[in-house]
Amino acid sequence: MPDTGRARLFVALPLPAALREKLAGMAPAAASGIRPQSEADLHLTLHFLGMADVDTVKSALALVTAAAFSATLTLPGQFFARGQPRTLFVGVAPEAPLRELHSEVGRRLEGAGFALDTRPFVPHITLARFDRTAGADTIAAFLRQALPPGVTHFDCPEFALFASETLPEGARYRVLERYPLAPAETAAGA
C-alpha cells in the first residue's frame, strides 16, 4: 500500500496500546458470524474518505489546528444495517473537544474538495462485526458488559491518516501520517 497515490483512506484517533488491549478483551470471540476487530486496528474514526489521493489529504490535514484532549468512554452499543444489528462498539462521549476536532478536520477536508458523510457524528470504537448467523445471546452478553476497571478516559495527543486494505479475513489498517495536537494550554492561549 503506497504512502502516495490513491488509497482507501480515513482519519482517526489512534488509541493507546493499553486501552486497545482492554477493549479487545471485551469483544466476543471469533465464531460463526462474528468477526472481532484486530486489537492493533482499534481506533476512533473522525472521517471516512474512501478512495482518495493521499498527498491531497495529507496537505489538507496539515492545516488542522486543535488542542490535545482527553476522551471519555461510555457504554457498549450496537449499530444496525437494514434493521439488523451488524456492529458492536464502545461509545465515546461527544464532548466539545472531540466534536471540535471532528469539525475542524471536516472543514479542512471539504476545503480540499472532499464530500463528507452527512450523517451525525457518533463517536465510537468498533470492536466486532457480525452477520445474521451470530447468536443473539452473544450480542446480548456484549451489551450487558461494563467497561473494564480503570477504563474511562484516554488521552488524544494526535490524530492520524490511515489507509485501509481489504483482505479476505477483513480490513487491515496502516498509519500513513500522524498529526500532533497542540498542548491544551498552548491552543487556549493562541
Q: What is the pLDDT along the chain (190 residues), one digit of tens a residue?
A: 556 699 999 999 999 999 999 999 999 988 878 889 999 999 999 999 999 999 999 999 999 999 999 999 999 999 987 777 789 999 999 999 999 999 999 999 999 999 999 999 999 999 998 887 777 888 899 999 999 988 999 999 999 999 998 877 777 899 999 999 999 764 444 4
Instruction: Note the pLDDT of residue 111.
Output: 97
Q: Round to whole Å and give the CA distance between 154 and 148.
A: 13
Q: Which domains are seen in the chain, by residue range?
A: 6-189 (3.90.1140.10)
pLDDT tens-place string over residues 14-56: 999 999 999 999 999 888 788 899 999 999 999 999 999 999 9
Q: Is 42 exposed, middle or buried (0-12, 13-18, 19+ CB in 10 A)?
A: buried
Q: State residue 36's pLDDT score.
A: 92
Report yes or no on whether pTM surpasses 0.85. yes
Bridge partner list, 179 = 159
- Please state, in angstroms and rounded to a whole number, the distance separating the CA atoms of residues 82 and 150: 35
Name the phi and psi angles at 74, rounded to 5. -115, -135
